[in-house]
Each structure stands twice: as C-alpha cells, then as structure tokens.
Amino acid sequence: MSKIKPITFDPANAFVTPHGITQEQFDGMEDKLNACRAEMIKEDLTLWASGKDIPEAKQPLDAGFHEMPERILDHYQSDREASELGRILKTATRLGALVDKVVVLGIGGSYMGARALMETCCAPYHNEMTRAQRGGKPRMYFEGNNVDNDWSQALLQFLESDSQGDGPEGNWGIIVISKSGGTLETAASLRIFMDALKSKVGEARLSEFVVPVTGENGKLADLATEIGCVDRFIVPDGVGGRFSVFSPVGLLPAAVLGIDIVKMLEAAAAMNAHFQTADLGNNAVMDYVAVNHLLEVNKGVDIRVLSVWSKSLESAGFWYDQLLAESLGKQEKGALPLTCLNSRDLHSRAQQHQEGARDKVMNNVIVNSWRQEPLSIGKSKWDQDQLNELADKTLPQIMDAAIKGTNLAYKEDGRPTTDIYLPAADEAALGQLFQMLMLATVLEGRLLGMNPYGQPGVEKYKKYMNQLLREDVTA
C-alpha cells in the first residue's frame, strides 16, 4: 500500500465570540460522538454483515459503504484477475481500446461521484484534448441525469458527427448505472441513446458497447441479459446510491478515464482507520461533525456552505450536496448544503455571507499544491491596471491571499469558518474526502437519532411523475 498524505481539518476559526462555538462545548461532545462511533462500528457493521434482526428504526441499513474499500482491496490482493477490481480494470482497458467517447447514463449518486472524480483527477480540458494527449483514454459525457430535450439532442448530434471512420475514434459507448433500471430519467435516456448506438454499430454488436452497472435483478438487469452484454457489474446490496462512489458505480467510469482507483481506495481505507482510532480534537470526521452540529443546534446555523477553492472540486461539492440533503433532510431537520466555488463566488454570494443572516458556516476545502508550475502576473508596458508592482506574484499567491483575506473578514465579523486541507487535487485526497464526508454524515445522523439511509421524499416525486405520465397515456 502506497503512503497516503493525510487531509486535515482545522476548526480554529469556528471558535469565534459570540456567534461561534466554545472549546467547552466542543470538548463536551466527546462522549456522545464516541458512543455514535461505536454504534457505527460495532452495531451497524455487525447487523449489516449478518443481515438479520435489523431493528425497524435502522431500516434500511445501508452500512455496506463503510468497509467497502477494504473489502474490494482485499479481494484484489487475493485474486487480481477474478476480483471485482480486476474485472473493472480489464473492462476499462477493453472499452478504452474500442471507443473514443463514453456516455455515462445515471442520476444522483449513480453519476455524481464519477463526475467529481473526472473533474478533480483528469486534466481540466480532458474532453477537448486529442486522443494522444489523453493517453488513449476516452472522453466522457454525462446524461440520464435530467430530461432536458435540447442537451440530449445536442449530445446525440455531436456523437453522430464526431464519430466517423474506423477504429476507436469512430466509435462511442455507454456505461449505464441504475440499481433497479426503473428510474425514469435514466431509463428514458438509455432507450434513446441505445437506439442511436444500435444505428451506429448494429444490434449484434450492442453487447460490446453497452456496460451496465445495476442490481442482481431488475429491469436493467433483464435488459442486459437480453442484449447479452459482454461486461456487467453489480451495485452491491446494502450500499445506497449516494454512498456508492467506491463501488463499480464510481470505480468503472474512473478506471475508463485512467484514474488510479487503487490509490483512491487505499486513501478511503486510510480515512476509515483514522476515524476508528483518533480521538476528538485530532479526528477529522468527529471534529467536522462536532463543529457543524454545535453551530446548528446552539446558534441556528442551518446552512452549510462548502467553499471549494479549486475549480476541479466544484462537482465534488455537488456530490456532497446530495449526500447531506438526502441523508439528513428528514423529520423537518437537516442543514441545507450549498456549494460555492471561490474566488468566483466571492463576486456573487459573498455580500450575503459577510453581512446577511447569521445562519451559515463556511467549510473551506483548500488545495495545498497545484499540478502546474505557478503562473505569474508578469510585467507589461500597459500598466493601466497598476499590476506591474505585483508582477512577481503568482496565481497561487493570489488564491492564498483570497482565502486568508476572506477568512479574516469573516472572523472579524464573528462568522464561523473551518478549513479542510487537501495535499493535492488527486485520487488520494478525494478518496479521503469522500470517505470522511460519508462517515461524517452517518455519524451526525446517529447523533440526531435519525436514520441517515433511505430517501423517502425522493420516492414520492418518482411515484407521482410516473403516475402522471401513465395517466396521460391512458386518457
């Protein structure tokens, strides 16, 4: 296992008077958080493993995400070829040699993690690069997460016009992700895109170009059998969609892009070990929960702004928005998650954050090092902007000043902030961050006496949408 540089959590700027928390309040959370951690590790994992006698209050119990990184890695070490991870890597190689574009169809947790991985770990303009510049890895596009007519049509038109000739550059494929196959947005998109793909490659070869990630049984599983898909992967039972990023749901698209999924899983496992052994005050998961929970219950701070200070991390923020909203937005409780990209959004939201209602905490996500060499402002004969005096300053230095300046402004006004530091925007950092936030969400759910799994509210809209459409058909 490669050495993982840890991400760190600094809550210092949440201890602001009189609108933040106190050290006494923070220390007072220790016993409660230790009890909730023990419930997750000793009770939930044991119940999940047995699958028996699960209390009604804990149903559904989708605790399978917790130790999934370790399970997948252990199987890979014992049997590389036949293991799930081995098969994912083999399929990624096959698909990458076959096509130059992959359309990922899925909604919610079935695509958000994969998109976050692409935008964080791949080059910023991956899809605009030549195949050689991409190291032979396909471009990737995401649909089936909406029913927007014009965007769907535009992607189909692009695929048709840009997929000409022989070889992989003339081909495109589909990864479809849906546990049941019954989610309408994804199912409708699959029918439309698969029809276009059939016209391109012929019905007999569809099985090579469509890779489903689905349940053992269900509508998509039946379709995959009917088509005879060469490769198919299972969404594991006991793992909810928004907790599935370290299953084939996230791993397969990431592997197709050439992302180091082994390193990512090792990083997630390292976060598990950290969570299970570190004490409050040195435990990123518990500290994050303690600060945000105390601000909500004691100060009414029920909006959590995830301020990401890198464009590469914006989709990771959107992934967390879904995780927190679906997990804790129940029983008329739950903080509202909001992702902001800075310094961009300092010019749109900062006024309200600085002087608006005191109902927000800023949880910054900061990257310590950049992939590229620092870009300096430079001198110019046109100095109307008066930047020649800053000619030697670099973009990372400007970003650093923006982060520190924003935190100082909030601190001066008694507005709480915290800082999550990532060593880099890469697989290791994102593996830790994803696992930290999933663990934190479940830990807070247990702290609130709430089941963080399941999303009954989402199921209601699905029921009514299908009902309205089918009533229209039969009218």
Q: Return d(Cα 154, Cα 156) in angstroms, integer.
A: 5
Of 84, 296, 326, 444, the catalytic one is: 326
Question: Quick check: is 66 catalytic?
Answer: no
Q: In angstroms, how far is CA 276 from the centroid of its own chain?
A: 22
Sign of CA dihedral 430, 435, 441, 447: negative
Of 311, 333, 462, 463, the catalytic one is: 462
146, two tokens: 């909406």
Of 347, 373, 381, 471, the catalytic one is: 347
Sheet holding 139-143, edge to edge: 139-143, 101-105, 172-177, 210-214, 233-234
Q: Which residue type, as a one-letter code, is found at position 244?
A: S
- Residue 188 has a CB neighbour count (10 Å cut-off) of 15
Question: Quick check: is 5 catalytic?
Answer: no
CB 225 within 8 A of CB 81: no
41, two tokens: 């590790």
SS3 369: coil
Site of tokens 């924003």: 406
DSSP 137: P
Question: Quick check: is 333 catalytic?
Answer: no
Give the list of residues 6+ apart from residue 83 with CB closer than 8 angstroms, or none. 72, 75, 76
Which residues are tagged catalytic? 326, 347, 462
